Structure 1
Amino acid sequence: MDISDHHMTDVGSIRPDVHIEVHVKSQSTAKRSEVRTHVLSLLDRHSTVLGSYTWTEFDDEFLAKNVESVSVADLTGPKLVDLKVHNLCIHIFSLNDDSPSMLALEEEEELSAANHWLLPAAEFHGIWESLIYEEGIKTQLLDYVSTTIFFSDRNVDSNLIAWNRVVLLHGPPGTGKTSLCKGLAQKLSIRLSGRYAHSQFVEINSHSLFSKWFSESGKLVTKMFQKIQELIDDKDALVFVLIDEVESLTASRSAAQAGTEPSDAIRVVNSVLTQLDQIKRHPNVVILTTSNVTEKIDLAFVDRADIKQYIGPPSASAIFHIYLSCLEELMKRHIIYPRQQLLSLEELGTMNFMESDVTRLSLTLRNLAQRSVGLSGRALRKIPFLAHALYGKSSTLTVEGFLKAMERAVDKQRQEQRF
């Protein structure tokens, strides 16, 4: 069933796409066509939006009963957008609430090869939106995989135009590479729901591959990929395979070549690379990999990756937006009270970053972001929690009081980094 809708005017007109994501309540039994009709009516009434906008409350009784949210997705910046002059791509989805299952290899013993989710998964909901990087990184990754699927669908000859369906995200620990892979798979499962009936996500842990299965050589690796192959054989399924810390595969191979590891290790690694080469020939699979130490990945693997994207520590502007999203969440939950308007960097820029009653708190946040440069994304997300736990002396704090607590938490984190 095709549940994406392309809304066009006259034939031959090309209008830029705007993606509308419609999150249907899991208990809803409404027909997708009916949901789409009501969503189009909503968008007709509210055709001008400010950047990426989300409706969570509806006057329309049908939408209130059946829909969690309607989002104008992935528009950058706070500019006004007229939906009437765009091609609306409507993606209707509901979340899968199941916990991940284990891909077990041996019937007699629970030998877990990998974790397996059905997408879109409730566990991955909101990951993509929460990740803040330099402008363009997320869009490029989304566009890359979309083109991969599009070229495959059109039977483009891969001998003439080369692409491998392999993405490598590399950079220091704590920058959100694994989360970005999960968010990307979730996003694409929604975007391509009109093309694929369902999507699956398989996460392989390279460390467990070697610690558990060393004595079994490449035999169990082959079994694991046979399980993945079974998922790929369903042509109505889009399958994402994530190999975290892929450098541990190639590090083991180099150790084996140096004679410090048994030759069994080299067979395991070669088996993994061979299996990857076999599954990437299928049009409905995307292989996502991450690495914390890029220099340890040998060229045999690097050559297989179409996109090698560096994910570095957040810049001051990215940190500002991370903190801003955290403060908005705490105001929503009344942990920070009363709610006060904080300005974005773009809005501060239009005021030349001049201090006034309107800009004071936002400029304090900007200074705090600049002091936080060098902390990992993982550490930054902990700052509001540590601020409240260590320096929040009451259950409710004002924005000003909370920013002071955050400053102390940042100073503490920076001191701890020195050890």
Structure 2
Amino acid sequence: MDTTAPESKEHLPMLFGSEFAATIQVEVCQKRTSAARAEDVKMHVMNLLQRHPVIYRDYTWSKFDNEFLQKHVNSVAVVDTEMHLVDSKAVDLLNSQLQLHIFQLWEDGPATEELEQDNEALSAASHWLLPAAEFQGLWENLVYDNEIKSNLLQYITTTILFSDMNVDSNVISWNRVVLLHGPPGTGKTSLCKALAQKLSIRLSGRYKFGQLIEINSHSLFSKWFSESGKLVMKMFQKIQDLIDDKESLICVLIDEVESLTASRSSSLAGTEPSDAIRVVNTLLTQIDQIKRYPNVIILTTSNLTGKIDMAFVDRADIKQYIGPPSAAAIFKIYLSGLEELMKCHIIHPRQQLLNLRQLGRMNFVKSKVSDLSLQLRDIASKSQGLSGRTLRKIPFLAHALYVQESPVSLECFLECLSKTVDRQFCENDIFISPH
């Protein structure tokens, strides 16, 4: 069993690279108050895994019978197992290569980065130290239909590998820019934050900590419109100061990037003010300057890709569409919500729900074992068209609107869930239909 943590450059590509599919990721959250050595934590975690050599899905331990783990560790999570379960029913930890990532969470919330303009303070960005407690678990709870998350991790791996191997960027170009685009409510911003959090954990052997700077695009491009180009430059000067710390991973998030990258063709045609041109030019110049630093990633989102300047689009290495969830993704979202409600005893007694893979093995035939899971599948199917943001609220609304008793049975709650979905579509129609 390989327990080597990624503490050197030659180990780094294994995090998500060509050997990623054969590697089990184990994320160990060490208590902030703990001063235990990483080697000691690894030893006790390995003993825990040896006592539980087979798992059937991602699994997290938060309660321990080991005194050392009780004192020093918040949780041990075996993650990203789904790809290993395609052709098998279980993951054999004893005969797998393990990558252990030991990290501590920063409990403080975001700080505010301010810029001075005309003797006034402008809130220009929010600034987190990573990994942050408020983002813990966010990555695992984002559900997509394809390999979006693993592709993003693979992109970061290649970025690091090319930098480590001194690939000449004049021969092969990459810009460290990711653009996630799609309709509102599909989780683009959450995915950017979750990616920054995940990178700070997976690269904890390389960087002492991560930092996430979320730029407030609207602030930079509103009150002092004629000064927006200068404000963007000031903001990136602050970011440059952070990048200079080589022991820190810097993730820059520009949400609704079209606010800063409005197409220059519109400006030249006279439909947009000329200051928009200066802002775009400044932003592109700053991206070109910081892309040579190996410890920075720029994450951007957009709801209106048609308004983005093509020079910025061209600089994005990955342009990933994030669309509304499919029925399969919705099923997973609902399933995780119901599991959470059963864990909290809001739904009681606990009953087993099968995932889609297990239902598929039963050919989706109705039985006492599969009945409730098939009902959930039907609810997920008719929920298509709702945004991811709305879907996460459906279980809450179901309880608030229709549950008459506490705790509630799973059978009753599924009925309430179905009614809530129907109601949500009716409410949406009111806003869509002309008055």
Q: Is the 1:4–1:92 Cα contact (8 Å) retained in structure 2?
A: no
Q: Does 1:303 align with 2:343?
A: no
Q: Is the 1:3–1:32 Cα contact (8 Å) retained in structure 2?
A: no
Give the residue type in structure 2 aligned to 1:47: P
Give the structure 1 partner of residue 26 of structure 2.
20
Please give the residue correspondences for 1:205-284 in structure 2 after superposition, counting only pairs within 5 Å: 205-251=216-262, 253-284=264-295
Give the residue type in structure 1 aligned to 2:163: S
Q: Report the more deviating stretch, 241-250 or 223-232.
A: 241-250
> Quick one: distance in 1 between partners of 2:54 and 2:168?
42
Q: Report the more deviating stretch, 212-221 or 346-355.
A: 212-221
> Quick one: distance in 1 between partners of 2:342 and 2:56?
21
Q: Is the 1:3–1:193 Cα contact (8 Å) retained in structure 2?
A: no
- Indicate how the Cα distance of structure 1 residues 222 and 309 shifts in structure 2: closer, same or farther if over 3 A, else same: same
Unaligned runs of 5+ in 2: 12-18
Identity across aligned pairs (percent)?
66
Q: Does 1:74 align with 2:80?
A: yes
Deviations 1:299-358 (A, max 9, x none): 111110111111110000000000000000011111111111111111111111111111
Shift of 1:84: 3.0
Give the structure 2 partner of residue 35 of structure 1.
41
> Quick one: distance in 1 between partners of 2:348 and 2:427?
30
Q: Secondary structure at the match of 1:106?
A: strand
Give the residue type in structure 2 aligned to 1:82: D
Q: Does 1:332 align with 2:338?
A: no
Q: Secondary structure at the match of 1:251?
A: coil
> Quick one: distance in 2 between partners of 1:416 and 1:99?
35
Give the residue type in structure 2 aligned to 1:177: K
Give the structure 2 partner of residue 102 of structure 1.
112
Q: Tell me the TM-score normalised to structure 2 length.
A: 0.90
Give the residue type in structure 1 aligned to 2:44: H
Deviations 1:258-309 (A, max 9, x none): 3233322221221112112111221110010111122222311111011111
Give the residue type in structure 2 aligned to 1:138: K
Give the structure 1 partner of residue 51 of structure 2.
45
Task: Count residues in correspondence.
Answer: 411
> Quick one: distance in 1 between partners of 2:39 and 2:180?
38
Deviations 1:220-271 (A, max 9, x none): 2111100000000011111000111112223364443232333222212211
Please give the residue correspondences for 1:43-192 in structure 2 after superposition, counting only pairs within 5 Å: 43-76=49-82, 78=85, 79-106=89-116, 108-192=119-203
Give the residue type in structure 2 aligned to 1:41: N
> Quick one: distance in 1 between partners of 2:224 and 2:32?
39
Shift of 1:32: 1.6
Give the structure 1 partner of residue 300 of structure 2.
289
Q: Secondary structure at the match of 1:182?
A: helix
Give the structure 1 partner of residue 15 of structure 2.
none
Give the structure 2 partner of residue 401 of structure 1.
412
> Quick one: distance in 2 between partners of 1:333 and 1:388?
14
Q: Report the more deviating stretch, 48-57 or 93-102.
A: 48-57
Q: Secondary structure at the match of 2:261?
A: helix
> Quick one: distance in 2 between partners of 1:384 and 1:158?
49
Q: Tell me the TM-score normalised to structure 1 length.
A: 0.94
Give the residue type in structure 1 aligned to 2:65: D
Q: Is the 2:58–2:79 Cα contact (8 Å) retained in structure 1?
A: yes
> Quick one: distance in 2 between partners of 1:213 and 1:104?
14
Q: Is the 2:208–2:248 Cα contact (8 Å) retained in structure 1?
A: yes
Give the residue type in structure 2 aligned to 1:23: C
Give the residue type in structure 1 aligned to 2:337: C
Q: Is the 1:198–1:236 Cα contact (8 Å) retained in structure 2?
A: yes
Q: Is the 1:166–1:307 Cα contact (8 Å) retained in structure 2?
A: yes
Shift of 1:205: 2.5
Give the residue type in structure 2 aligned to 1:352: N
1:352 to 347, 358, 363: 363
Q: Report the more deviating stretch, 46-55 or 197-206.
A: 46-55
Q: Report the more deviating stretch, 187-196 or 101-110.
A: 101-110
Q: Is the 1:100–1:117 Cα contact (8 Å) retained in structure 2?
A: yes
> Quick one: distance in 2 between partners of 1:289 and 1:176?
12
Q: Report the more deviating stretch, 189-198 or 204-213.
A: 204-213
Shift of 1:3: 5.8
> Quick one: distance in 2 between partners of 1:159 and 1:279?
15
Q: Is the 1:19–1:88 Cα contact (8 Å) retained in structure 2?
A: yes
Q: Is the 2:263–2:307 Cα contact (8 Å) retained in structure 1?
A: no
Q: Report the more deviating stretch, 164-173 or 250-259.
A: 250-259
Unaligned runs of 5+ in 1: 7-13
Q: Report the more deviating stretch, 236-245 or 272-281.
A: 272-281
Give the residue type in structure 2 aligned to 1:50: Y
Shift of 1:97: 0.7
Shift of 1:201: 0.4
